[in-house]
Structure 1
């Protein structure tokens, strides 16, 4: 099902992006859960040593302090959270791929929710990754707005 005059390629591209985010979330969540607290600590220590970073300097010390706070309960919550997030993203991807109208609204809303945070990150950090995230999200929100407006226009024309 597609909106008149519009290629479903855009919806399929967004569906692919959402599926990728869902799968990535599962992989990261389960990898963290499988590694466990002690393994993550050893991995971080080895990485800092490999990169020749001083563990007492600011950023490495913050990383090591955060890693030391990790326990099995936290990791289980992270794994459960990643399953929940991935489920939402994969359902959204499936619905967009199939052209379900409700997932178009969901994609618009779920993308719009992140915009203030991404704008803040761009304004305060000025780094490339937040800029890329903001641009991609603006494209998704803008595209979904157009899709929804076209669908509504079609409905009115058919009435």
Structure 2
């Protein structure tokens, strides 16, 4: 009896399409965030942080929020826009590759998502709650689906 080779066509692995849509949505949201940040500039962020400091009666000189307030300037906003834009392009390219069932996209997604897992575990240790568990479980599912695709590809190539 011969085994049929693994065919990662869209109908053979609907998980890739689901992940492609998920990654594409993340890329689109990141592009919207980058464009919004570029258009609005640093002033709305500075105002929001000042309001938070006043609302919670925080020390306006020392602490995380005042330090963040000092760090927000036009140069920092442009750098943040560049980083978020690169992230968005990365996610959109990955989504395109997953939709087309490309092996490189499965590698990109699997390795990229697996890199978040230690941070997810640390976050779970520091801030255990349903939201932290949800992120960890979603990332584990993404890694499992993509790793399954890669293992099936490798097995069919052998």
Q: Same fold (TM over 0.5)?
A: yes
Question: What is the Cα deviation at residue 28 of structure 1?
Answer: 1.6
**Match in the other structure for 1:82:** 84
Aligned equivalents of 1:34, 1:55: Cα separation in 2? 30
Q: Which residue of the partner structure matches residue 155 of structure 2?
A: 153
Other-structure match for 1:31: 36
Residue 2 of structure 1: CA displacement?
4.1
Q: Deviations over 1:25-55 (max 9, x none)?
A: 1112222222222222224445677xxx333
Q: Secondary structure at the match of 1:17?
A: helix
| Correspondence for 2:65 among 63, 66, 74 | 63
- Paired residue for 2:100? 98
Scaled by the length of structure 2, the TM-score of the pair is: 0.82
Flag the structure with higher helix content. 1
Taking the aligned partners of 1:67 and 1:130, their CA distance within structure 2 comes to 27
Superposition map of 1:103-118 within 5 A: 103-118=105-120
Structure 2 CA distance for aligned equivalents of residues 55 and 100 of structure 1: 52
TM-score, length-normalised on structure 1? 0.82
Q: Would you say the 8 A contact 1:105–1:148 is kept in 2?
A: yes
| Structure 2, gaps ≥5 residues long | 1-5
CA distance in 1, matches of 2:43, 2:8: 52
- 1:17 equivalent in alignment to 2:22: yes
Counterpart Cα distance in 2 of 1:96 and 1:40: 35
Give the corresponding residue for 2:46. Answer: 41
Alignment gaps of 5+ in structure 1 = none
Q: Is the 8 A contact 1:115 1:137 kept in 2?
A: yes
The 8 Å contact of residues 41 and 64 in structure 1, kept in 2 or not, is answered as no
